[in-house]
Amino acid sequence: MSGFFTSSIGKKLMMSLAGIFLLSFLLVHLVINLLFFIFDDPMVYNKVAHFMGSNVLIKIFEIVLFGGILLHVIYALILQVQNWIARPQRYSKTNYSNTSFFSKFMIHTAIIILVFLVIHLADFYLKAKFGRALEIEVDGVMYHDFASEMIDKFKMLPFVIFYIAAFIFLGFHLIHGFQSAFKTLGLEHKTYTPIIKVVANIYTFIIVAGFTLIPLLIYFM
């Protein structure tokens, strides 16, 4: 059994499962961020963020989340290095289909996304964990003022451009990654594959458009 997880198929399966888990997290994260605009009171967003940061079950989920990210990154790097070793010379001809284009640059978009993730965690998650985030007191309870932090960040044009660019690259990564994950799970079929491609496109559009809209609305409001 242990040999399976060290095999090429095993690594792809683990990376795919971790990727699908991260796909669900992205959607939840987007919904939480949109609360900032759905409710006039920014404290609704702060209270939800406070609940996410203090609830025991969420804390367990947090560990699983970071484990999923780490697992996805490690297996992706291992598989990429193995591919480079197995194919030291470039193909003389390149397939210019959409899938091959996205597949070709998966490692490049992944590195950009990873850099963005580190910066994003340093700006919000680590600040909150180490007591450096803005705080606000409401009814005797101290909350991290993530709403004000978000406004401060998205009032800076360079950060807005960097944030949007990162999610555009994420979109390129998701288009191929979404389809590849389900293909690895054995769902490649003349009936299922077209459906998965449509769902992948819709999901990617929602994620990229949603996370792009947030900084633009705050910057211009």
Report if residue 94 sits inside a domain.
no
Look-up of token digits 């700006």: 123
Report if residue 55 sits inside a domain.
yes
Q: From the CB of residue 77, how many other CB atoms can be counted at a distance below 10 Å? A: 15
The 3-state DSSP class for residue 80 equals helix
Report if residue 143 sits inside a domain.
yes
Report if residue 89 sits inside a domain.
no
Report if residue 87 sits inside a domain.
no
* pLDDT average, residue stretch 70-83: 73
Per the structure, the count of domains in the chain is: 1
Report if residue 106 sits inside a domain.
yes
Rounded to the nearest integer, the mean pLDDT of the chain is: 79
Report if residue 93 sits inside a domain.
no
Distant-in-sequence, close-in-space partners of 217: CB < 8 Å, separation ≥ 6: 37
Q: Could you report the per-residue pLDDT of 165-184, keeping only the tens digit for each?
A: 999 988 888 887 777 777 77
What pLDDT was estimated at residue 110? 77
Enclosing domain of residue 32: 2-81+99-220
**Higher per-residue confidence, 118 vs 13:** 118
What pLDDT was estimated at residue 92? 47
Distant-in-sequence, close-in-space partners of 185: CB < 8 Å, separation ≥ 6: 13, 16, 17
What pLDDT was estimated at residue 213? 95
Give CA–CA dist 105/8, Å, rounded: 20
* Residue 202 reports pLDDT greater than 90: yes
Amino acid at 62: E
Task: Outline where DSSP puts E strands in the chain.
Answer: 135-138, 141-144
Q: From the CB of residue 112, how many other CB atoms can be counted at a distance below 10 Å? A: 17
What pLDDT was estimated at residue 104? 67
Q: Under a CB-based contact definition with an 8 Å cutoff, are residues 127 and 135 in contact? A: no
Report if residue 88 sits inside a domain.
no
What pLDDT was estimated at residue 209? 95
pTM score = 0.76
Residue 192: CATH number of its domain: 1.20.1300
Give CA–CA dist 178/196, Å, rounded: 8
Q: Under a CB-based contact definition with an 8 Å cutoff, are residues 76 and 82 in contact? A: no
